[in-house]
Each structure stands twice: as C-alpha cells, then as structure tokens.
Amino acid sequence: MKTEFYTLGSFEFPADAVVIKGKLEAEGIPVFLRDEATINSDPLISAALGGVKLQVYSSDRERAKEIFDEVRNYATDNLGNPVVCPNCKATKSEIYYSRSNVFYKLFPFFEPRKYQCMQCNFITKPAR
Ligand SMILES: [Zn+2]
C-alpha cells in the first residue's frame, strides 16, 4: 500500500513551518517537513525551490487544514490591519509571490509584495 501525502502549505522560512508543525503535532497529527535541510544550508537556493513544504498524511488532510486555518497568520498591512480583499471584502489574505522571472527567483526579497485573497483568489497589489 502506498502512503499518500498532502501538502498543507509552503513556507519561505523554516521557523514558520516549525510553529505550524508544533500545533498539528499537539493535536496528534504527524507532520513532515520537506527541503528543510536545503534551506538551512543555502537560503537563496531554497527560496527559489519554494521554501519548506509542510506535509501530512492524506488521511489527516481535513483535520490538518482546519487547524492550519486557525493558527496561520493572515497578511496585514504596515499598520497591522488585516489586508481587505477589494473583490469580496474578506480579510483572509496571504502574501503572494509570483516569482515570474529569474531575477526574482534568485532574489525573492526584491519582488514587490502582493496579497492573494484566500476566499476568492483575487490578487491585490497594495498602493505605495
Ligand atoms: Zn476576495
């Protein structure tokens, strides 16, 4: 029998993934982090690969998603207010990295920050 995994999310920084991992494990859900070794040895390369992936067994998928939704931090603006989606007015947005070209793949911190609404997937580009 093949073991199926579900990728709950990707994290740019291993520390973020470790926080979520701790919450899930406290609920009795086994968690697997991928690519963490790569990240710690070379941050630039690991960012280009998409950071740390947090995986759970497919059988734990629904429970893991519920817990993840409770503990994840939604994006906030510079004043700490939740980013409001201009399309559906939801406040559940995440930072969105398009990484559309090689330059940003190598230097993701130069990419202008955007947000993606978790409800309707609308991508917001905040005014500067
Ligand atoms: Zn929306």
> What stretches of the chain adopt beta strand conformation (E)?
5-11, 31-34, 52-57, 93-96, 114-117, 123-124
Per-residue pLDDT tens over the stretch 96-115: 765 555 555 566 555 567 88
pLDDT at 61: 95
Mean model confidence pLDDT for the chain: 78
Query: Do residues 79 and 49 both lie within one domain?
Result: no
Query: Do residues 64 and 115 both lie within one domain?
Result: no
Rounded to the nearest angstrom, the distance between the alpha carbon of 92 and the centre of ligand 1 is: 8
Rounded to the nearest angstrom, the distance between the alpha carbon of 123 and the centre of ligand 1 is: 8
Rounded to the nearest angstrom, the distance between the alpha carbon of 85 and the centre of ligand 1 is: 5
Query: Do residues 14 and 64 both lie within one domain?
Result: yes
Per-residue DSSP letter, 76: B
Rounded to the nearest angstrom, the distance between the alpha carbon of 32 and the centre of ligand 1 is: 30
pLDDT at 87: 93
Query: Do residues 51 and 17 both lie within one domain?
Result: yes
Per-residue pLDDT tens over the stretch 18-56: 888 999 999 999 999 887 555 556 655 555 555 788 999
This prediction has a pTM of 0.55
Q: Mean per-residue pLDDT for 74-98?
A: 80
Q: Mean per-residue pLDDT for 56-62?
A: 95
Query: Do residues 32 and 84 both lie within one domain?
Result: no
Q: Report the alpha-carbon distance of residue 106 to residue 81 in Å, rounded.
A: 30
Rounded to the nearest angstrom, the distance between the alpha carbon of 39 and the centre of ligand 1 is: 32
